[in-house]
Chains A and B, each alone.
Chain A
Amino acid sequence: MVAGSMDETIKRLIRNEQAAYEELVAAYGEKLLRLAYLVTGDRQLAEDVVQETFFAVYRNIHNFRAESSFAAWITRIALNIAKNKIRPKIWRKIIFSREIDGTDNSALPQDEFEARERRRRVQETLHALPLKYRDVLYLYYFEEMKIKEIAEVLDLSESGVKTRLQRGREKMKTLLQAGKVGWDE
């Protein structure tokens, strides 16, 4: 969604137009869901985060200031809500074990077993990566955002983003090797 059309969408949101809300969900729904999943590691929690984010955005649309882009603003809201969800450590442990123990013990076809094992290793790698590196790496490698944009979203300096990227890459290298999560080129 380009900046000019977003300004128009914001005005229509303020006027409480249903179509504007649909456009907002179409433009940001999936992105925010993935970001929330990145932080929480749980699909259900991620859906809750997305719902709360849109609720907050719609209620507070009048407070949006043009100092930052709308994408940065809505992403920041989603990240804060997601991080608040996982704040108590015990909660995070419960979520993680539920993900692992959800497998049944009946015999599976080999392919399905291998796919499930691979998903488990990918999940473990994700949870082993500290959150402060997770969001920076995700926004840089998956969303392909620029350093400046990431700094705006995460409210960091550009040098801070670069430092976290560098350290995150080193951490990922270790984790990918340890978790045997690799890809043949």
Chain B
Amino acid sequence: MNKPQNYEEQQLDREIRHFFTELMSEITLDDSLRVKLLARQKDIMPLSSWQRFLEKEVSISLAPLTLAAAAMVLACGLMLKTLFLPWEIPEPKYRIIEMQAAQVAPGLQNPAERG
């Protein structure tokens, strides 16, 4: 039968309740503490908007932050032209060579100079 077990449980419930009632019987908010709490309040100011902003927690995910940082490094490198690129740097397609005209094509001499 459940009756004895329920009675025991009810008895335990009563004892626990009595325990806390007895424990807290002398714990009351006396006038001295009330005065302290109210006196302290005068020294407390709510946080200003700026202080609330500074204390606000901002959560930033790691992956977007890493990608953003990498993109900024690339952009800075490209702007400064100091970024080392893995592929070949293209060489210029021509170079200027100083030559005498006669060395290139004797037949093309100025007729006035032929005499």
- A interface residues, how many (CB within 8 angstroms): 42
A139 to chain B, nearest CB (A): 10
Binds A, one of B32-40, B62-70, B82-90, B95-103: B32-40
The size bracket of the interface on B is 20 to 34
**Residue of A18, A33, A63, A182 contacting most chain B CB atoms (<10 Å):** A33
Residue of B nearest to A22 (CB): B38
Q: A33-B29, A61-B46, A62-B47 are in contact. Are A185 and B14 (CB under 8 A)?
A: yes
Q: Point out the residue from B14, B38, B46 that lies within 8 Å of A183, measured CB to CB.
A: B14
Please determine whether A58 and B44 come into contact, CB atoms closer than 8 angstroms.
yes
Tell me the nearest residue of chain B to A56, going by C-beta.
B44
| Majority-rule SS of B interface residues | helix
Q: Is the CB of B37 within 8 A of A25?
A: yes
CA distance A176 to B8 in the complex (A): 14
- For B39-53 the 0/1 string (1 means CB < 8 A from A) is 011001111000010
20 A-B interface contacts by CB (under 8 A): A13-B46, A16-B45, A21-B41, A25-B29, A30-B29, A33-B28, A34-B27, A37-B24, A37-B27, A38-B23, A51-B40, A62-B46, A62-B47, A63-B52, A125-B19, A141-B17, A169-B13, A169-B16, A172-B19, A183-B18
